[in-house]
Amino acid sequence: MACPKCGAKNRVDERARTAQAVCGKCGTPLPVSSADCDQPVIVTDATFQQFLSAAGSRPALIDCWAPWCGPCRMLTPTIEALARESAGRWVIGKLNVDENQRTASRFNISSIPAMLIFQHGQLIDQLVGLQPKQAIESRLAAASR
C-alpha cells in the first residue's frame, strides 16, 4: 500500500492487522477504507468495526466471499471497479467468510456471494448472488440519499 504522504510502498498484512497501520518511512497512518485507496479493503473479524467507523456517513459495502466460490471470483472485477470508481461516495470491503466466521455468522451469511450495505454502522441492505454492477451501484446510490 502506498503512503498518501510520502509515496513509500508499505507491506500491510490486512488479515493480521488489529491496529491502525502506519507508513514505515514517515509514520503517516495508512488508509483503512477503500475511499482512501482504489482497491477494496480486506475486512476481518478484528477490523470489521474499524472499517465501518472509517466509513463515517458514507455507505459501506462488504462483499462476503470465499476463494473456492466461482460466482464470488466472477464478482471480484465488479467489486474492484466499484472501489476504483467510488470517488469517496462509498467504501468497499471484502470479507473472506471461511477465515472470518464470527462476522459471517453474526449476519447470517448462508449463501455467497453476499453483499452487505451499511449506513452509519447499521446494516440497511443485502444482496445475495452474482449481481450486475448497475444493480449494486443503484443500491449504494439509494443508501447515499
> Which residue(s) pair with 128 in the sheet?
114
Domain 34-144 has CATH 3.40.30.10: yes
Q: What is the pLDDT of residues 105-132, one digit of tens each?
A: 999 999 999 999 999 999 999 999 999 9
Instruction: Kindly state the average pLDDT of the residues 71-91.
Output: 91
Grid coordinates standing for 123? Answer: 446494516
Q: What is the pTM of this model?
A: 0.75
Known catalytic membership, residue 72: yes
Q: What is the Cα–Cα distance from 55 to 78, expressed in whole angstroms?
A: 20
Look at residue 97 and tell me whether its pLDDT is greater than 80.
yes
Q: Which entry of 3, 23, 64, 72 is annotated as an active-site residue?
A: 72
User: Domain ranges in the chain?
Assistant: 1-30, 34-144
More confident residue, 87 or 43: 43
Known catalytic membership, residue 3: no
* Pairing between β-strand 60-65 and β-strand 114-119 as defined by DSSP bridges: antiparallel
